[in-house]
Structures are given as C-alpha cells and as structure tokens.
A and B are shown apart, each in its own frame.
Chain A
Amino acid sequence: MSSEINCIALIGKQNNPLYIKNFSNTHPDLKYHYIAHTSIDVIEERVSNGPKNLDLYIGLLYAMEDLAVYGYITNTRVKCVVVVSVTDCVIRDADMKLIFQKVHAAYVNQVCNPFYNLDSQKSLTSKAFIRAIDAIGLTKPTRTTLDI
C-alpha cells in the first residue's frame, strides 16, 4: 500500500481521546493528537449537516500537509480517525471502510468487557484492544490504491 496508516485514533463521545496510536516515524505523537482533536469538529459538522441516514463511514475529513484524515463515527458517537499519508494516488473508500470496520470491531470487543466503564473518560489501556489496533495499523493490506 502506498499510503500507510500513520495513525489510528478513537475519540470518546465527550470528545476525549480514548486511544491514539502513531504508526509513523515521520511525525511526533503530538501531531496526531492535534489532528485527532481537530477532526472532531469536521466529523461533527459532517454529521450535523449530513443526511440523517449518514453512513458510519464519513470519508475524507481533510488533507493537511502530507496527511489525509479519514473519519468514522459509531452509533454511540465514538469517533474514529485514521490518518494516512498523502501520496498522489486514489485511496479507495472501500479499503478505508474496511480499516474502520476493523477498528470498530476492536472497540466493540473492548466495550463488551463488563468491567469496562463506558462513560469513563480515561484512555483505553486494555492489552487486547491495543493488540487489535496494532494489528490493524501494522498489517500491510493488499493493494488498496490505484496508482496514477
């Protein structure tokens, strides 16, 4: 994949960061924290302005410098953000959707833990969850872009 996942971020419904993982070595973690934070507005705007039956997958939120930020929102208003680096290629939505669905599944597994407090604003520290996210971020998916 020419556009690798640089960062996966989960944001709670009170706009608190749940989990932010940086997979790149080009940018510091801080950058992705900022990006995840700024994505909140864009997601909220899309959700409020969008149609009522808006897909969970929101799509490209914005591209900033060399990073493209994609968004996804669960029914419980937990926001997922995936940052990929911009190369001059088309990124297929189906592939992004797949990534998000995996992230969503990982989060659902986390929520299924009866000891997990859904309203807690603390970051996720579950090992299983972190492993799952790492697996999503580090796998090299099959060719997902159409090179131009």
Chain B
Amino acid sequence: MNTYPAEYLLHPVPVLAVYGLSADQTSTENEKIPTQKDSEESVAVISSSPQTRPSSGRQTPGNNALNLRSSLASTLHSLLHNKHDFTLYEATRYLHQNSANGAQGIPPFRVLSISKDYTLPTPSSSVHSPLSPLTPQSPLYPDGIMSPLWITKYLETPSVIVGFYELWDWSSEPGQGSKPVRETGPLGAHVMMDPTERENDVALAQEINDKRKYFQDKGIKFSAVILLKNRHTEDPSVEERLNLIRKQSGLDAKNSFFTVAPGSHHDLQEFVNTLYRCLYESALQYYSNVIKKLRKKKSKLPSPASSARPSMADLTSNEPQPLSSQGWQLRYDLKIAFFQELKQDIEAALKTCVVAYGLLGDVLAPTSSVTQGLVSLPARGKRWTEARALADCINIKICRFHLFLNDHTAAFSQLNGHLHLFQTYSSAWGMGEQSFEYWEWLSKQYRIFADVIDSAIQAGFKIPLPTAYLTNNGTANVPGSPLLGGSNNNLSSNSQVVGCNPGAIIQHPGFYYHLAAMCCAERRRRFLDIERSEAAKAAAANKESVAPSQLEVLLSKERQVDHSSLTIELLTKSYEQFKKYRNGRMTLYLAAEIAGTYYETGKFEMALKFFERIGKTYRKENWHMVLTSILRWSLRCAKELGSWERAVECLIELMAEELPMAKQKRADIQRELFDVLYHNEASNTIKHAPLTIAMDQINSFLKCSVQFLNQTSFVDTPELYQISLSTDKNSPVLPFRFNAMRVLFSEPQYNCYLEDAGLDEEMKKLDLIDFSKDMTKATTGDYVDWFTKKVDLRVTEHQTRVFQGQIISKDCDGIKIVGVCLDLISPQWNVALSYSFDKLSDDQTVTRRKWLEPSGDPSGRPKFRFISGRGELSAIKITQRPPRIQLSIHQFSPALLDEDFEMCVTVTSEETERIDVTLCMEIKNAEGQAGDYAWFKEAGDKSLESARTFVIGVIEPGQSVSTVVYIHGTGSVGPRLVNLKAEYVLSSASGKAHVPKVEKSESVTIPFVSPFETTFELCAQGEDQGKTVPFDLKRTEKWLMVAAIQCCSTWNLDIESVRLEQEAFEHPYTFLKLLSKMDNFKNQVWKTSHVYNANYLFRLSTMDLTEAMPSVPVGNIVVQWKRHGQEGAYSKTVLKAPALEFQQLSLVVIADIPSELYMGEPFTLTYTIHNPTINLAEYTASIELSDAFVFSGYKQLKGRVLPLSRASYQYTCYPLVAGKVRLPRLKVIAKQQGTEKEVPVELLAVGVVVTLDNALDQQVRQTTVEQQPTLVFVGAKRHY
C-alpha cells in the first residue's frame, strides 16, 4: 500500500488517436511486420495501391519534398503529443473559458499514436470482457471490484480517430525529379487531371472511406487530415483533387476532413487547436453514449435487498465469493464516474463518486448493517487491499472535486469523514491506533490531502480565513457546521451565537503536511514499540524457529522504511508552505521538529545546525522554555558529535536561571560542565583551543557589571572601580570556582589578571573583595606586565561578589573597561566567559548607580550606597589634575599713575608634597598701551616689561610664600588687568621628562587714577599800545600762567617739589622768557582736593611781526611725590604746560577818557582806531548819541588807517547826568580784506585770559560778541 495506482488518481481527458504521423509507424509499415490483427488490412492496402505508401519514397535520396513532409508530420506529432496529462483545472479550463467569455480555449485531449492499421479490440467471443470478474482469466475473478487495468484500457481506447494522409505526388515517385509541368494556358483549369494522380487519389479516398466506415460502426468519430506540400498550395488542381477525395471518402468538409500545409509553428498549433475543437464534441458524445450504455446495464442489476445473501457459513470459509450485486453496482458507478470525468462533467462525476464511495464504505465495513451481514472482506486480503486503495483514491477524487467546485468545507468534511470511517474500521481490522500501519495510512491521507489543496491553490483556490464567518455574517456557508446551518438556521444569522468548529476549518497545506509528518513520526514510534515487544517475545520464546507470521512479514517490510527521512521530507514541505504564508515562527517550530528528527536518525550535525539557527530567535524573544529544550537537544547532539566546545557553550547557558529547570537538573548540568572540563575522558583527550563565550549574547547565570566611582578623575590620582558578579537566585547550585578573572581596559597597561586564591572558607551573600592594593606585575605566563593578585573567585547561588580595584593614570585620557573575562582553566581547556560593556541593557539605564562600601566595623556587612548617575559607568575620563595652591593678592587700589604700585602676592601650597613654583605676571592695558610695566621686588629688574616670570622656588606642603610685585601705570587713567599665574611641578615628579605643569591663574583688575588734576590759566598782559609810533616790527606780550594743581589721590601725598622744566625753544624771531615764578617749596603734604597754584610770568617777544608766529611750548611742571607715609623713592609726575601764542590782533577801536569824570566838567573822549595788522584798513564811522552827554566832534567820518598805525578822533563831552552812563559810541564799520564789519570798541587795558584744564583743553568762555554799551561813571558835580 505504498502508492496508489496512478490510474485511479489521474484526471482523465478524452482520448484521441492519430496515425500517419509518427516516423516509427511508417518504418514499421516499411518493415512490414503486420500484427495478427492488422495483417489483413495492410495486405489490402498494399495490393490496392502500393504507391500510396507514404514512406515509399523515403529511400530516395535528395528528395527534399519528402523531408519537408516528414518535418511537417513530426512537428504535428510533437504538437499533438506535447501535453499528455492534464490536471483537473487544466482540463476544465476549456469549458469555463467557452462559457465565460467566449474566448476560444483549447479542449483537452490525450493523444495516442496508433498504427495506421489500428483496429479496435474486437469484443471477445465470451460475453464478458477480459477484465470482468466473470471472466476466469481476469485478475478480478471472481469477486474483485475494480482494477486499474480497466482504466488503462479506456485511456487507450480512442473516442476520436484522426488519420493523416498525404496527397500523392510525382515527386514521391522514385526517379521522378518533379511532376511534369502542367499546361497553364487559359484553358489550364479545365484540363483533365493527370491520370496517375487520379488513380492515386481514388485509392486514397477508398482507403479513407474504409476507415471511416469501420470506426463509424464502432461509434467512433473518424476524421482525415491531408498533409499538403508547399507546392500544392499553389496548384489550383489540388483543390479539385481534395474535393474528389473528400466526396469519395464520404467525410464532412467541416468537421471531418482537413488539410494542412507546412507552415510556421504557430500556424500548425492553430491547426491542431482547430482540430481539437472540431472533434471535442464528438468525443464527448462518444463518452455520453458509453455512460448511457452503462446506466442501462446498471438498471438491469437486481436490487441489493433482493439479491441472495451468502450464508453465514460462507463467511468463515475462505472460498472467494462471486461479486455481489452491490459490488456490481459499485463497479458501474465507478465506471460512470470515470466517464463523467472524461466528459469533464465534474459535478456529475462528484455525485457518482460520492455514491460509489458510500457503497465502497459498506463493502469494506467489517460488519455492515445496511447489507445485513454481508461478508466483510477479510482484512489484508487481496480484495481488501484493492478496495482500500480504491476507497482512498475515491476519497481523494471527491476532495479534489469539492475543492474544484470551491466547496472547501465539503472537501474537508469528506476527508474527516473518510478518516473517521476508516479509524473505526481499522481497529476491527487489527490495525488500530496502536499499529504503525494505521499511522502510515493516516500520514499518507494527510499528505495527499495537502498535495490536493496545494495544487488547488496553485490553480487559484483561496484558503479562507478561519474567521471569515466573523466578518461576513450572511453567508449561508457556515464553515464546518453543515448541521448548524440546518438545525439552527435561525441562530446562524445571529453573530452572537456564531462559532466555528476548529476541527472543520480548512487550512493551508502546511498544516496537513505537518500532520502527515507527525503521523509519520508516530508510525515510527509504534513500529519501534512493536518491534521491541516482538524482540522481547522472540527472546522469551527462546529462539524457537517459528514460521514468519504475518506480523513479522509486516515488520520486516517496515524495517526497510526510512521513517525519519519521510518525516523530514514532510516537515520540509510543511516548512516551505509556512514560509510561503510568511509564518516565520511556525517555520522555526518546524525546524525544531526537523532537527529533532535528524537527531533521531543520528544526523547530529544537521540537527545541531538547525538548533543553532533557530535558537537565536527564541533567545532574543525570551522564550526560555523553548530555548531550554533547544539547548538540551543541542547539548545531546554536541556530545554525540564530540563537539565539546559547543557542549560547553550549551551547558554554560543552561546554567542560567531564566531557563526553567528543576534544581536537581541544574545541579546535574553544573556537574556535567565540570565533568566535561576536568574529568570526562572523551572531552579531555586533546588540548582544546581557547574558547570564548560571549555572555552578553546568551542567557547567563552570572551577571557582571562594572562601576567606576567617579565619572572623571585626574592624572596620578588613584581611581576606584568595582566589578560585581551576581549570581542567579538558584544557580549555580554548587559553588562554582573560576580559575582566573581578567579585567580588560581600553588601555592595556591597566589590565588585571586575578587568580583564584583557592580558598575554601564559607562564603557570604554579599562581600567586597578589594584587590586594589599590593598588586604585582606578572613577569611570566601569558599575561606579562598585567597586574596580578590572588583573590577568591568562587561564586555560588544568590550571591553578589564585588571586586574593587583601582587605576592610576599617568595621562589625560579616557579609560574604559572593555571587558571582564572569567576563565575556567583545566589542563585541556581554557574557557573564558566574556562580558563586554559596550551596550547598555534596559535595566541598567534606569537603575541608579550603586557602590559597595565596606561597613565601618569589621564584622558588619558591606552596604550599597547610591552614587550619582544611572546605569553602569564603565568608562572614566582622566584630566589634568587641578592646581592645589592658593594665590592671594593684597593691594590697596586704586593705583595712581606714575607710581610703583605695590601688590603682595601670597602663594599657599595645599599639596601634600613639596612643589617648585614659578610665578608669572602680566599687566594688560585696556588700550594696549605699552607704557605700563611690572616687576618683582626680589628680582629688582625694573626694565619696562609688561610680563615677567619669577621663580619662587620650593614651597613645603601647607606653607605659603609671599612676594611683592610692583606695577607701574603711565599715561591714561583706567583699569589695568593683571594676570598672575603660578606654575608648579611636584617635587616627586620633577626630573621626569614630559611632566605637565600644574597651573593656577589669578587675575585682578586695578583701577588707575591720576594723582593730580591741573588747570592752567593764561593771562595776556597787554603792553602799552600807545607808544608804538613810529612803526615797530617788534612785539612783546607778557603772559601770566597760573597752574592750579589739585591733588586727586585719596591718599595724602607727600610732595617733594613742584618744578617747571622749561622746554628749550629755538626760533629766529620769537623768544620766550620766564620773568618770574612762584613754585618754590619743599615737602608739603597734600590732602585730597588740595589745590596748589603755581604762577609763572612769561614774556613772549618777536623780532619781526610780519613773520609767522609759532606757538611756544612752555615746558612741563614736574611734581615729585609719594604716598604719605610710604617708604621708597618719590614718584615723578609730569604735567604738561600749555604752549603760548601771540594774541591774534585785529582792528580795534579804543576809547580813552580821563579816569574821573564829574558832572558839569567837560572832558575829552578819544577814539583811537588802531590797526595792529599788517593790512590797510578803510572804515566809515558815525557817532551815536547819548542822553547823558552833550558833545562835540565829527558826527560822521570816513578814513583809512595804515598797517601798524592808528588814527585818533577826539570828542569834547559835557556830562549832563551823574551815575553810570553810556558814552557816546563811535560806531566804526571797517572794510578789511574785502569784508565790512563793525569794529568793537574797547576801553583801554582789557587783556585776554585763557583758561586751560588739566588736559590743556581751552575752556569755553563767555565771549562778548554783541556790543555792550561802553559805560562810564560820572561823578557828581564838584563845583557849584
């Protein structure tokens, strides 16, 4: 029962037989090997017309026409035969296409090549066919139901026959190159045909006619096809010849007589399609007739009830019983169904099949109620086997038809019904669920069902969603519950009550392949069980040689079966299906099953590969239970393979508590791990390469985290870090001893190698192991130059051990702990559990950082303390250490310009060791002036440098050193920025190369103010102008300079001296002479706002008035001063005095009166128009009246005055009133250098006063531009 007969399962299509195309056939004809049947006919053919043999010209070489013909024939042959088997969907496509959109489809045909002289099998002399159960020679005799041979028979019985012939032609005659040229005159068409052609054509027609008649008698449609040659298509006479042949052969032009000429492949295909279409109807007709015949026969059967029952005695006898009428009925139904299939009448075929299936079910039933004790087929008998195969095949067909008709529910319930039915039968047959046969059968059913669905899907069938009924309620087709629809019709429309039967939901083929695989696996288990029990029995039976029982035959047969590869094949199919349906996780499950099956077969390598591949997803998604199973399997595989590295990996991961396992088992795992590492002979035969297990990639029983105490640190500062190893609550069950721990830093020089100290004392739940002190550098081994120490490296369950270490960095750098490796070292093994700290796990980002601190008293437990930040700090940043000295500056600001401003700088060392300090100072002026400078008192160098360095020297820890620095500001007032920088190196570090200096900077802003404010007043004391007659080019002016020096300092100042330092002045004509000064004093003390006036009188004279008169610098006033009470030298402040200049003289009118005026006493008023310039001046003048006087003189006048000369006008005035009165004013309008302006009137002896401030800017003075009336005081009358 390994396979079903293919005949039962294939989908039949109408059979078409062709002859006259195949080269083989022609050659058989050539060789003249007539079979018994056709000998008669072939003789007739030969005798009638030997020329018509299509192959007669074959031997003629160089006959291209023949080649052409044979190429046409072979093309047609291949076209006809290119499709032999049709699926249900392909076969019915023609019907659908025709009904749907009228597109011309191609009807399906199974094409047989038969020999030209084919005859239908003549009904044998007996009444029954050779396959009938009634024929003694039949394989079915006497009680068989059906044989695949019958199907084969009808697959080889044509329903339509097509004969291919070729038109006789001269060219096919040997010796004839070509046909004689026919006349092609105007009468050519009417010329009689070539007699030879005619003769041949008639013979051909005769032959066709014979065939037609023969087949028509048998009810088979016959058609003839004439193969034309290229040449024929151009020959008009060919038409006539063809007509003649057709008429004589009695064939219908439309459906039975065809011609084909050589053409393209496509043309020929078209021809074949047309041929098919024309013949299809006839084929269907043929099968309909057959069905009719069968129906008639079936109706003649006696009804099952009335048929004779075999007696009960017959049941026990093994004598074959003749087929019952029920059996006959079944036979007819099967045949009808087959022909309905041939007709592609699927619905009818389905109905017939269902009926036949029901009958068959009864036939197979161990006890049948319907047939009232009809003899059941003896189990495992020949008929039984046949019937079962038949039942299975019909079941498959029914499923297929249902799916084709898009009724998946019916299809699935058919399968389920079939399975249920045979499940109940099976137990009666002694092959119930305990037997491997049952499972084998079940597996097969599922597998074939899966195949059926798969092919349906490929043809466009869609698997409905199991929940489709939830979304579209109104469908009448409630899946899986045909009875629900019937009995609860009123409920099915109500979605509240809707449900589905999960067992009746059709799913995609992957599920059924999987089921098949599971059944196959079960089959194997059952088989092994039975075989084991049989072996036990055989052993018990003490080797008694017994003839092989039926069971043993079965067993020995089963032993040949490779169950596992069958299972794997099924699982793989299922896997592919699920993959197609994008059910990735299901494929993982299937892969696990495949791997398990591989394991069973002993293909451990494959199994391991599968397990490894699928383990990742489960690990990633935390499916620990599944992962545990996979790891256990992997472990077993690895051990079988001797892949000990893999085994160790599995064992280590299995120790993780996340993977659920009993405590005892966990302990076993741990023991096994140590066994593998230390004791097991198989695993310790060779030296294994170092094995590194990335613990952050797997579930780990030991969590490792690192923590730096601080985020940043300084060069040369010890920095602590802690590595905590915490174990799971329940793992490792036994104390677990690591041989070494390696701490790997990003800078290898800090790496540590900690060895186990081999202690055995009791361990605490939480302890702190400080290995930071007394580390030594390894000198030998693999870890030369690593820091090393012996510590206790044991862990046990529910424990946290914290290892504290320290690093001292000599450089500014970022240092990171890149990994911690825990090593298990045995003579043959070196396993490193490697933890890396690149990625943060989710927990770490949220938890606060903790630091384990030893408790104060030695007996107490250490305690965790929260430190700032969250997560895990595996990196530290080392920066330059901060200066640990203090710089303080003592000073009394503001500073005064020009003074040596003293500041006291104190450097206090807070270092723990001696330091060597250098102090740098720089003064920065806001405007960047260069005049400021600074110096150290000790250094004494008073050169004008703004930046200076001074080596202070060694300062003991905690000591301070003071030094005095001076700054000197000159020029402008304003703040100065003084930067002080102390640089130092530790004395311990001094002498080493590249020791970075520690720097501390301090800056202070010193405001500078000027000690003095000075204002200058320059007063010109006019010379007597009257006596400059005659002209004199000499001129002399006296200037009084008053310097008011105000002390601005907030300190009292000791003034040593105030001196005028005259500036040397050389000029050919102009001279300045100090006439007198008043500044001689010694050592005064000036308080704030004290004003001191220094008076200087100068005479400024020039030899030649007409020369340019420069301004003459006076010089500077130098003040020597210091702060009151301060030691040291006097500072010198230079105050610049203003320059003197001649007055700019212009035309002036000077009024002159006597010094005393009295009423009633006349006096003379003289107006002198003085032209001190060197230009001629013209003027007009008029006298203005005054009420206080009567006067006489010119009222109006006009004149000119020469350069450096004057003109006088005198008026005699008589005062009329006393008091302050206005003089009559002479208004002079002078025209000088082209402009006319009024010349101001001045009284004699009015000088110029210029006031200058400290910066020598002339102060704005109220000038009397507008003419003020010239007022005089007139005394009272003296004489009465």
Contact = CB atoms under 8 A, between A and B. Distances in A.
Given A38-B583, A65-B518, A90 B500 contact: yes
Contacts of A94: 496-497, 499
Contacts of A58: 467
A80 interface: no
B944 to A, nearest CB: 72
Contacts of B488: 146
Contacts of B467: 46, 58-60
B81 to A, nearest CB: 44
B438 to A, nearest CB: 16
Contacts of A89: 501
B480 interface: yes
A63 B481 CA distance: 16
B585 A90 contact: no
A30 interface: yes
A42 B583 contact: yes
A91 interface: yes
Interface string B496-513: 111111111101000100
Interface string A27-69: 0011001100110111001100001000100111111110010
B623 A88 contact: no
Interface in B1216-1269: none
A37 B618 CA distance: 9
Contact of B626 (A34, A41, A92): A34
A17 B626 CA distance: 11
B926 interface: no
Q: Which of A63, A95, A121, A145 has the most CB of B within 10 A?
A: A63
A64 B514 contact: yes
B711 interface: no
B622 interface: yes
The A contact surface, by secondary structure, is mixed
A37 B507 contact: no
Contacts of B497: 92, 94
Interface in B337-376: none
Contacts of A63: 466, 502-503, 505, 507, 511
Contacts of B217: none
B675 to A, nearest CB: 26
A20 interface: yes
Contact of B503 (A14, A55, A61, A68): A68
Contact of B507 (A62, A119, A148): A62
B588 interface: yes
A93 interface: yes
Interface string A96-115: 10000000000000000000
Contacts of B1044: none
B507 A17 contact: no
Contacts of A124: none
A30 B629 contact: yes
Contacts of B621: 14-17, 37
B585 A41 contact: yes
Interface string B458-493: 000000011100110000000011011000100000
A1 to B, nearest CB: 12
B589 interface: yes
A65 B515 contact: yes
A90 B511 contact: no
Given A16-B622, A59-B466, A86 B499 contact: no
Contact of B502 (A20, A45, A68, A146): A68
Contacts of A95: 499
B153 interface: no
B585 A37 contact: yes
B584 A37 contact: no
Contacts of B507: 62-63
Contacts of B618: 37
A38 B585 contact: yes
Contacts of A41: 582-586
Nearest to A94: B496
A74 interface: no
A108 to B, nearest CB: 22
Contacts of A24: none
B934 interface: no
Contacts of A121: 622, 842
Contacts of A96: 499
B948 to A, nearest CB: 64
Contacts of B588: 37-38
B592 interface: yes
Interface in B31-78: none
B665 to A, nearest CB: 14
A142 to B, nearest CB: 14
Contacts of A5: none
B921 to A, nearest CB: 60
B625 interface: yes
A128 to B, nearest CB: 21
A15 B582 CA distance: 16
A45 B465 CA distance: 11
Contacts of B495: 93
Given A15-B621, A16-B621, A59-B466, A34 B500 contact: no
A90 B499 contact: yes
Contacts of A20: 625
Contacts of B518: 65
A107 to B, nearest CB: 17
Q: Which of A30, A37, A51 has the most CB of B within 10 A?
A: A37
A62 B577 CA distance: 14
Contacts of A42: 583
Nearest to A12: B622
B484 A62 contact: no
Interface in B589-624: 589, 592, 618, 621-624
A87 B466 contact: no
Contacts of B504: 88
Contacts of B622: 16-17, 121
A55 B488 CA distance: 25
A119 to B, nearest CB: 7
A34 to B, nearest CB: 5
Nearest to A146: B484
Contacts of A88: 501, 503-504
A57 B623 CA distance: 24
A84 interface: yes
Nearest to B660: A29
Contacts of A145: 499
Contacts of A61: 466
Q: Which of B498, B502, B583, B592 has the most CB of A within 10 A?
A: B502
Contacts of A91: 499-502
A66 to B, nearest CB: 8
A20 B498 CA distance: 28
B500 A60 contact: yes
A30 B505 contact: no
A93 B483 CA distance: 17
B521 to A, nearest CB: 11
Given A17-B622, A68-B502, A90 B481 contact: yes
A43 to B, nearest CB: 10
B1170 to A, nearest CB: 109
Contacts of B480: 90
Given A90-B481, A91-B502, A119-B842, A62 B511 contact: yes
A92 B503 contact: no
A119 B505 CA distance: 36
A146 B499 contact: yes
Contact of B470 (A37, A59, A64): A59
A37 B497 CA distance: 29
A130 to B, nearest CB: 15
**8 tightest Cβ-Cβ pairs between the two chains A and B:** A68-B502, A92-B499, A59-B467, A16-B622, A60-B466, A86-B503, A63-B502, A38-B586
21 contacts: A14-B621, A17-B624, A30-B629, A34-B589, A38-B583, A38-B588, A41-B586, A45-B582, A46-B467, A60-B466, A60-B500, A60-B502, A62-B511, A63-B502, A63-B511, A64-B514, A91-B502, A96-B499, A119-B842, A145-B499, A146-B484
